[in-house]
Homo-oligomer: A and B are copies of this chain.
Amino acid sequence: VSAPLDELRAKLTPGAVLEPADGLERYERSVLFDRRGQAAFAVRPKTVDDVRSVVRWAVRHRVRLVAQGANSGLVDAGLPDASGEMGVLSLELCRERLDIDPLDRTVTASAGWDLDGVNDRLAAHGLRVPVDVGSNPLIGGMISTNTGGTNVVRYGDVRRLTRGVQVVVADEDATVLDLLAAVRKNNAGLDLKQLFIGAAGTLGIVTAATMDVAVLPRQRAVAWVGVSGDRGAFALLQVLERRAGELLTSFEMMSGRMLQLRARHKPDLRQPFPLDAIPPLALLIELSSTIDPASGLDVAQLLAEIIGAHAADGTVIDAVFGPPEQMWAMRHGIDETAAEGYQFWVDVCFARSAIADFRARFDELLDARYPGWEFIDLGHYGDGGLHAAGMYPFRLGREPPPEEVEALRGEVYELVSELGGSFSAEHGIGPSNAAYYHAYTPTDVQRLSGRLKAVFDPHGILGVTRFGTAAPG
């Protein structure tokens, strides 16, 4: 970057600006994957005013910025590209505000607060941000990603939990939009804040958010249920929604093949089912409630009762009950399957009624035309979400030809589109899947998205993801 970094440095606290000589690796590298970009610099504002200074400077000098949180995203939307010309605007030190309103059940936090940190403080009030993910994202990253997780069936995604946001947009003045109004209902005009949720930092820099928080449950019950297939799984889901809908907190699926792989690769991990009787599909089901068991509701008993009654239809093979932490621990170790083979994953979502079809057709596709490939998946069946992969086992002794991977990937996305699904359910859009955004988003939607982008970021300096055909940059 030829831009005068000294000018930027002068506006911020000492140490806010880091250059390659200072070591930028942690701002260039994804936490989970072996992927990286190259940054011209990293800047770490502490306040909203700092953020404005950075954006104003960047607009003036036409320096491209990528907003970054905990770097735990899965599509690289928070990493600089490979040009070496982008600056990383890390929100990690932006922790000015943390206000809890227990009566209103909200928390207002600056973008740099981490989820665990916020939840630690909320716990003192018997509250929490009801988002369960396998990482510890920053609040700003959660807003920009519209994080999902394993509790969406009960509490919704981050969009649903978000009452307001504060954003710095990329016009000459780096205007702050204060859309933090802490109200549950606000119909006083266009709801601009919605645009910034899940926008991957491309329309503005999210500097704070107000979120609804949930009351900690008084009782939880968790079970692993083995079923004979999708028909049985969705029948059980419907029964649960009709007999205990408001208590259903998670309804997760793991395929039998996934459990087998996990057992083979990590024999020391505890398994929900005997190794010689792993069912075709395993469901991890949680009911939870704020109601005291003394009031007559015992969620463990209710869960056992519903599963027991449903078992009469013949689709339930086995059910295992136990302490919630122990049951959930058996879901971990999935990442270990990466050691089993080359994998390409899709993060998709369907109407629940279309999931079975997608799974069957993905599997058939591999069987019919991609020799050696295996289908593995797990999902958030309660909300229609599915993480599915084609895996080419290492035991085959070679990498799959790149053109075969690309062909398969294309066919799978085509199938997602045909079945009316979303090709990015919860991970968002970033360099790792942007090609599919351009291929599968209607042209008109892309065109209008580009025009929206231009309203908030007229010079196209924000983000690595390019939404819309008209996006400058």
**A436 nearest in chain B by CB position:** B188
Distance between A159 CB and nearest chain B CB, rounded to angstroms: 7
A201 on the B face (CB < 8 A): no
B420–A181 touching, CB < 8 Å: yes
A246 on the B face (CB < 8 A): yes
Per-position 1/0 for A156-188, Cβ under 8 A of B: 110110000000010000011111011111111
A190 on the B face (CB < 8 A): yes
B451–A455 touching, CB < 8 Å: yes
A185–B384 touching, CB < 8 Å: yes
State whether A296 and B302 are in contact (beta carbons under 8 Å apart), knowing that A146-B187, A184-B349 are contacts in the complex.
Answer: yes
A461 on the B face (CB < 8 A): no
Report which residue of A157, A184, A350, A451 has the largest number of chain B beta carbons within 10 angstroms of its beta carbon: A184
User: Which residues of chain B are within 8 angstroms of A101 by Cβ–Cβ distance?
Assistant: 351, 353
User: Which residues of chain B are within 8 angstroms of A444 by Cβ–Cβ distance?
Assistant: 175-177
B185–A148 touching, CB < 8 Å: yes
- Which of A30-38, A275-283, A286-294 sits within the interface? A286-294
User: Which residues of chain B are within 8 angstroms of A420 by Cβ–Cβ distance?
Assistant: 181-183
User: Which residues of chain B are within 8 angstroms of A188 by Cβ–Cβ distance?
Assistant: 422-424, 429, 437, 440-441
Per-position 1/0 for A307-340, Cβ under 8 A of B: 0000000000000000000000000000000000
Distance between A273 CB and nearest chain B CB, rounded to angstroms: 26
B302–A295 touching, CB < 8 Å: yes
A385 on the B face (CB < 8 A): yes
Distance between A173 CB and nearest chain B CB, rounded to angstroms: 9
A197 on the B face (CB < 8 A): yes
A48 on the B face (CB < 8 A): no
Distance between A349 CB and nearest chain B CB, rounded to angstroms: 4
A301–B297 touching, CB < 8 Å: no
- Which of A4-12, A102-110, A365-373 sits within the interface? A102-110
Classify chain A: how many residues form its interface, as a range. Answer: 35 or more
State whether A187 and B145 are in contact (beta carbons under 8 Å apart), knowing that A101-B353, A295-B302, A455-B455 are contacts in the complex.
Answer: yes
Contact of A352 among B103, B176, B186, B445 (CB under 8 A): B103
A427 on the B face (CB < 8 A): yes
Docked complex Cα distance between A449 and B197 (Å): 17
**A197 nearest in chain B by CB position:** B191
Beta-carbon contacts under 8 Å, A414-432 to B: 420-429
Contact of A160 among B156, B234, B292, B385 (CB under 8 A): B156
A305 on the B face (CB < 8 A): yes
B246–A290 touching, CB < 8 Å: yes
A264 on the B face (CB < 8 A): no
A60 on the B face (CB < 8 A): no
A192 on the B face (CB < 8 A): yes
Docked complex Cα distance between A24 and B442 (Å): 38
A222 on the B face (CB < 8 A): no
Docked complex Cα distance between A297 and B247 (Å): 12
A238 on the B face (CB < 8 A): yes
User: Which residues of chain B are within 8 angstroms of A302 by Cβ–Cβ distance?
Assistant: 291, 295-296
Per-position 1/0 for A39-64, Cβ under 8 A of B: 00000000000000000000000000
Per-position 1/0 for A128-171, Cβ under 8 A of B: 00000000000000000110100010001101100000000100
A298 on the B face (CB < 8 A): yes
B289–A246 touching, CB < 8 Å: yes
What are 12 sample pairs from A and B whose C-beta atoms fall under 8 A apart? A103-B352, A103-B353, A105-B241, A181-B421, A182-B351, A183-B350, A183-B351, A185-B380, A185-B384, A190-B195, A190-B198, A295-B301
- Taking A245-B290, A246-B289 as given, write out 20 further A-B residue pairs in contact, using a Cβ cutoff of 8 Å, ordered by the A residue number: A102-B238, A146-B187, A169-B448, A177-B448, A184-B384, A185-B385, A185-B422, A186-B424, A187-B198, A188-B423, A188-B429, A188-B441, A189-B446, A189-B449, A190-B195, A192-B449, A246-B246, A295-B305, A448-B455, A455-B455
